[in-house]
């Protein structure tokens, strides 16, 4: 009986090894926890097309929006870990939401990194008539009027909210938070002058800056970016050394997915990003290339959890 059990185990092992060696033998799906047109969706579709060509199997986009990305992320986290379900992962549902509320998955236990693909830098913006022409003047103006000015965000606990709170804290500003249901309505009120400023994505703000509807004071990452030409980093423009934050967007799989499959997918993403049109399409969406292998992405996620956790704690951010 023992020999028979060992024989069955050996057969199962051989079958699993063969499945990994022949992978993939059928189409894959990439779960996108956001509606079509959102930044994570755009990244996922661009990478999925390139992966399809490399793997010889179609990578099908499966949009599962809702609950701030939580629904789709949960679907992927609970899928069979066989390499046929990928997740278009991002800062909100993976790095932030689990720190603020109860979620149906554990991002550390239930998901495994494949590759980070891009960073989404943010820009500090105001209405053009705000009485400050550069970042240092902006800080001086707001500092001189504690409690007078308001900043908009895409919602309490959203990435934009946390980045703005970090900026406000580093700059020593006393301001009022006005949360909205999304970035678009938040920026509409900054453009109209109903709210004084926001720290929002380059993708969302650059069209307004180019059209003269918003003034851009500085970039959230510590280096200049091709997605925000002419915008100096806040680290230098606002004299905030070390100020360097951005949202991340990448690919993850259910935990337990065999390492050879994870490595193959990661290498596929790396190759996909080497095509010139990939970078061009992502840059056109306001996203900056930032490929990281599984171990490097795991470290990025660890750093992000710690940093977001610190911002949430210091600013007593809660979702009621």
Q: What architecture does CATH give domain 122-237? A: 3-Layer(aba) Sandwich (3.40)
Residue 171's region, left for phi above 0, alpha for psi from -120 to 50, else beta, is alpha
- pLDDT, residue 231, reads 96
- pLDDT, residue 84, reads 98
Q: How far apart are CA 84 and CA 308, in angstroms?
A: 31
Q: What angle do CA 310, 41, 300 make, to 5 degrees?
A: 30
pLDDT tens across 221-230, in order? 999 999 999 9
Q: How far apart are CA 253 and CA 81, in angstroms?
A: 7
H helix or E strand, kind and range, residue 117: strand 111-120
Q: Is the pLDDT of residue 5 over 70?
A: no
Q: Which of 52-56, 66-70, 236-240 has the lowest mean pLDDT?
A: 66-70
Q: Do 26-118+248-314 and 122-237 fold alike per CATH?
A: yes
Average pLDDT over residues 269-278: 93
pLDDT tens across 72-117, in order? 999 999 999 999 999 999 999 999 999 999 999 999 999 999 999 9
Q: Is the pLDDT of residue 299 over 90?
A: yes
In 3D space, the residue among 305, 270, 285 whose CA is nearest the CA of residue 201 turns out to be 285
Give me the phi and psi of 257, to 5 degrees please.
Answer: -60, 130
User: Coil, helix or strand for 109?
Assistant: helix
Domain boundaries, the chain: 26-118+248-314, 122-237
Q: Is the pLDDT of residue 17 over 80?
A: no
Contact between 61 and 45 (Cβ < 8 Å):
yes
Q: How far apart are CA 187 and CA 199, in angstroms?
A: 10
% of the chain exceeding 70 in pLDDT: 93
| CA 203 to centroid of chain Cα atoms | 13
pLDDT tens across 131-174, in order? 999 999 999 999 999 999 999 999 999 999 999 999 999 999 99
- pLDDT, residue 293, reads 96
Q: What architecture does CATH give domain 26-118+248-314? A: 3-Layer(aba) Sandwich (3.40)
Question: CB-based burial of residue 26 (10 Å sphere; 0-12 exposed, 13-18 middle, 19+ buried)?
Answer: exposed
- pLDDT, residue 14, reads 45
DSSP string spanning 254-304?
A: ETT--HHHHHHHHHHHHHHTTSHHHHHHHHHTT-EEEEE-HHHHHHHHHHH
């Amino acid at each position: 009986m023992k020999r028979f059990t060992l024989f069955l185990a050996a057969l199962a092992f051989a079958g699993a090894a063969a499945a990994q060696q022949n992978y993939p033998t059928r189409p894959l799906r990439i779960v996108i926890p956001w509606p079509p047109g959102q930044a994570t969706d755009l990244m996922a579709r661009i990478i999925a097309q390139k992966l399809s060509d490399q793997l010889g199997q179609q990578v099908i986009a499966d949009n599962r929006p809702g609950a701030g990305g939580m629904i789709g992320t949960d679907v992927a986290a609970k899928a069979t870990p066989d390499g046929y379900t990928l997740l278009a992962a991002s800062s909100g549902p993976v790095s932030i939401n689990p720190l603020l509320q109860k979620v149906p998955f554990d991002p550390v236990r239930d998901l495994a990194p494949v590759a980070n693909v891009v960073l989404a830098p943010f820009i500090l913006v105001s209405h053009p008539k705000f009485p400050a022409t550069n970042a240092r003047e902006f800080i001086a103006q707001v500092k001189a009027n504690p409690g007078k000015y308001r900043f908009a965000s895409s919602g309490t606990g959203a990435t934009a909210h946390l980045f703005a709170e970090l900026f406000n804290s580093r700059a020593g500003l006393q301001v009022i938070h006005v949360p909205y249901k999304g970035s678009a309505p938040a920026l509409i009120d900054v453009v109209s002058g109903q709210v004084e400023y926001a720290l929002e994505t380059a993708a969302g703000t650059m069209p307004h800056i180019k059209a003269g509807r918003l003034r851009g004071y500085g970039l959230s990452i510590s280096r200049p970016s091709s997605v925000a030409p002419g915008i100096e980093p806040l680290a230098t423009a606002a004299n905030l050394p070390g100020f360097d934050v951005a949202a991340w967007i990448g690919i993850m799989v259910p935990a337990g997915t065999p390492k050879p499959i994870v490595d193959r997918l990661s290498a596929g993403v790396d190759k996909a990003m080497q095509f010139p049109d990939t970078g061009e399409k992502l840059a056109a969406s306001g996203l900056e290339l930032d490929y990281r292998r599984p171990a490097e992405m795991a470290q990025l996620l660890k750093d992000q959890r710690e940093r977001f956790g610190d911002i949430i704690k210091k600013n007593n951010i809660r979702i009621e």
